[in-house]
């Protein structure tokens, strides 16, 4: 995928929820992926948490759906400059998964990985306290494959490359370990309000 510093010629909307350098995509939801979209049936999907945890654990589709349901309603922001408002994702709070795995006190960061092999790194603090989800649905329907279905990580307060599509697992670490885009020039954290798009921003 080609990386640019942003699109031009887009209308700028006065929106207090719009981070700097972003435009409101309205009804559009651009599809941007570093890999070919996989075909993963729900019955083939699994999600694992390991690394610095008391109880490494893998959930299948039914086990993940047996956890308390949770919904995120709000906005998402892409590093390529679009933002989308009024989104509604359904799934399970990542807190519910982490509670079953039991993070060790030494765990400070995580690497999320996808069924495709994609990885991205996050501070553990960005994944806890009701700030992250494993999302199965969007707008009342199953999450489409091109947007990460059957399940994706959702970390809406960070740029959307951190919300790994086709999520397969989370490895907890006591240090930061860059993922795919972070090794290719993207910012380690990706806070849209601070325009942390690229290394050095």
Tens digits of residue pLDDT in 92-116 = 999 999 999 999 999 999 999 999 9
Let me know if 82 is exposed, middle or buried by CB neighbors in 10 A (0-12, 13-18, 19+): buried
Would you say residue 66 has pLDDT above 90? yes
Q: Mean pLDDT across the chain, nearest whole number? A: 91
User: Is-contact 120 162, C-beta < 8 A?
Assistant: yes
Average pLDDT over residues 53-68: 98
Please report, rounded to a whole number, the percentage of residues in the chain having pLDDT higher than 90: 82
Pairing relationship of beta strands 119-123 and 109-114 according to DSSP bridges: antiparallel
pTM: 0.89
Average pLDDT over residues 147-155: 97
């Amino acid at each position: 995928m080609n990386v640019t510093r942003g699109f031009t010629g887009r209308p700028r909307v006065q929106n207090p929820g719009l981070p700097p350098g972003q435009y409101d995509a309205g009804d559009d939801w651009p599809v941007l992926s570093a890999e070919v979209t996989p075909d993963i049936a729900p019955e083939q999907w699994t999600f694992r948490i390991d690394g610095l945890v008391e109880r490494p654990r893998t959930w299948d589709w039914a086990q993940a759906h047996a956890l308390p349901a949770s919904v995120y309603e709000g906005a998402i922001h892409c590093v390529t400059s679009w933002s989308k408002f009024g989104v509604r994702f359904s799934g399970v709070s990542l807190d519910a998964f982490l509670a079953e795995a039991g993070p060790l006190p030494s765990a400070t960061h995580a690497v999320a990985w996808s069924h495709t092999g994609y990885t991205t790194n996050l501070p553990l603090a960005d994944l806890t306290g009701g700030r992250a989800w494993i999302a199965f649905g969007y707008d009342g329907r199953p999450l489409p494959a091109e947007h990460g279905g059957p399940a994706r990580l959702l970390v809406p307060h960070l740029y959307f490359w951190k919300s790994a599509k086709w999520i397969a697992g989370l490895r907890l670490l006591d240090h930061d370990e860059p993922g795919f885009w972070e090794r290719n020039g993207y910012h380690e954290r990706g806070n849209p309000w601070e325009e942390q798009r690229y290394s050095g921003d």
